[in-house]
């Protein structure tokens, strides 16, 4: 057997009730994939699954907190039992707790690390042995441009997303020898609830949803449906670092090739955030 792209494949997606996860689920179904949607917001995930089934696709939803490894393993095992395979594991769930480091509580660090990093390692642990045993599979871990280029005022988020991109690149080397693919998905500004705090995250103190939306509007966030379409095209090609929209690759290379220039621009951006929060 070999991986299917994407017709008649099986995919498990975390954080699939809204945003990028929802868009990936719908686009995967459009391409013929059986989709297992997992999320803490189970009612919303069930609505998405029902929408997919109504249009002739194959999908079901399961409630999941990605910090619960045992439940994650149960959901993955169920998908394999029902379909006989696991082609894709999208470790997508994530939160953003914004703010300056001196405003953080230890709980902010712990929550961010638990969801954004431990949630990914739980997903990898739950699927990797199955993929190795069957000789194929593709793990797609949602990092961020903040996992390739440091993001001030989002320090905990950037910390975890750098860890996810590092995990993905390191595992890709090892996994390739066993027939398993690994990619890091690195979105730029995408029009999702995360930009304005999301359900479980938090904006920096002094910034409300309206201010956050105005800040991101200058970067022209990509419609999430367009993002999913382009990202999955790159998953199909087994791209290691999937940077979408493509123009964000320029920012990545500025950081790689000219740290000083990046640092200068980063301080300017931080100044804008500080003015928004009226912090001096």
Catalytic positions, please? 157
Strands in the chain per DSSP E: 10-14, 34-39, 59-63, 88-91, 137-142, 180-187, 190-191, 222-223, 241-244
Closest CA to 121 of 157, 67, 201: 67
Q: Which two tokens stand for residue 69?
A: 């490894």
Between CA 144 and CA 227 the distance in angstroms is 13
Burial group, residue 126, by CB count within 10 angstroms (0-12, 13-18, 19+): buried
Closest CA to 148 of 170, 163, 136: 163
CA separation (Å) from 61 to 34, 124, 253? 11, 19, 39
Between CA 156 and CA 145 the distance in angstroms is 14
SS3 assignment, position 87 = coil
Q: Which two tokens stand for residue 179?
A: 């027939």
């Amino acid at each position: 057997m070999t991986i299917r792209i994407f017709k008649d494949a099986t995919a498990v997606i975390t954080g699939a009730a809204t945003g990028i996860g929802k868009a990936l689920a719908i686009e995967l179904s459009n391409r013929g994939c059986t989709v297992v949607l997992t999320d803490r917001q189970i009612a919303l995930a069930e609505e998405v699954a029902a929408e997919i089934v109504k249009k002739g696709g194959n999908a079901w939803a399961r409630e999941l907190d990605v910090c619960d490894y045992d439940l994650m393993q149960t959901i993955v095992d169920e998908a394999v039992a029902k379909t006989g395979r696991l082609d894709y594991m999208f470790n997508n769930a994530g939160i953003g707790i914004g703010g300056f480091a001196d405003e953080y509580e230890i709980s902010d660090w712990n929550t961010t690390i638990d969801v954004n990093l431990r949630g990914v390692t739980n997903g990898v642990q739950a699927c990797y042995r199955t993929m190795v045993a069957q000789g194929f599979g593709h793990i797609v871990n949602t990092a961020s441009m903040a996992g390739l280029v440091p993001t001030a005022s989002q320090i905990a988020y950037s910390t975890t997303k750098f860890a996810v991109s590092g995990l993905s690149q390191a595992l890709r080397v090892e996994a390739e020898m066993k027939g398993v693919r690994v990619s890091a998905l690195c979105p730029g500004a995408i029009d999702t609830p995360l930009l304005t705090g999301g359900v479980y995250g938090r904006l920096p103190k002094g910034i409300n949803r309206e201010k956050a939306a105005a800040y991101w509007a200058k970067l022209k966030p990509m419609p999430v449906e367009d993002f999913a379409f382009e990202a999955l095209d790159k998953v199909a090609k087994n791209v290691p670092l999937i940077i979408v929209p493509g123009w964000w690759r320029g920012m990545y290379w500025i950081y790689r090739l000219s740290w000083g220039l990046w640092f200068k621009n980063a301080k300017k951006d931080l100044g804008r955030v500080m003015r928004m929060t009226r912090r001096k």
